[in-house]
Amino acid sequence: MTTPHVPTVHLTDLPVESDETVVLLDVREDDEWALGHAPTAQHIALVDLPARMDEIDIDAEVYVVCRQGGRSIVAVEFLNSVGFDAYHVDGGMVAWQVAGLPLTSDGDPGTAKIF
C-alpha cells in the first residue's frame, strides 16, 4: 500500500543496521509486537505516537512499519508534519516475514511470526 505523497521505501532499500542515525519504528499494537518483530525495531503503537514522539530521535531517518502498510502511512504523514524525516516501509512486517528477514518475539524467539 502506497500513496503518492508519502515517502516510501522497499525492504531491500532499508539501511542494513539501525543506529543513532536510523530508526526502524514499529507502530503495531502491543499484541502484534509480542508475536514477532524486527530485532532492532523501536515499538510505539500508532495510537500512542503523538504522546511518545519525543522518544524518537528527531535527527534520525525513521523507517516506519506496521502489519501491511495502512498504519505506517498514517504515522509517516504525522511524523513528517512535525519535522521528522520518516519513510513508510512498503509491505510492512508481512513483507518482512515473507522475505525471510530476522524476527524475534517477547516469548520464545523460535516462535516469532507475523502471520
Instruction: List CB contacts of 24: < 8 A, sequence separation 6 or more.
Output: 14, 18, 38, 40, 41, 42, 63, 65, 89
Please state, in angstroms and rounded to a whole number, the distance separating the CA atoms of residues 100 and 33: 17
- Look up residue 70 and give its three cell numbers: 495502512
- Residue 84 class from Cβ within 10 Å (0-12 exposed, 13-18 middle, 19+ buried)? buried
Q: Is 16 an annotated catalytic residue?
A: no
Of 23, 49, 66, 79, the catalytic one is 66
Q: Which residues are catalytic?
A: 66
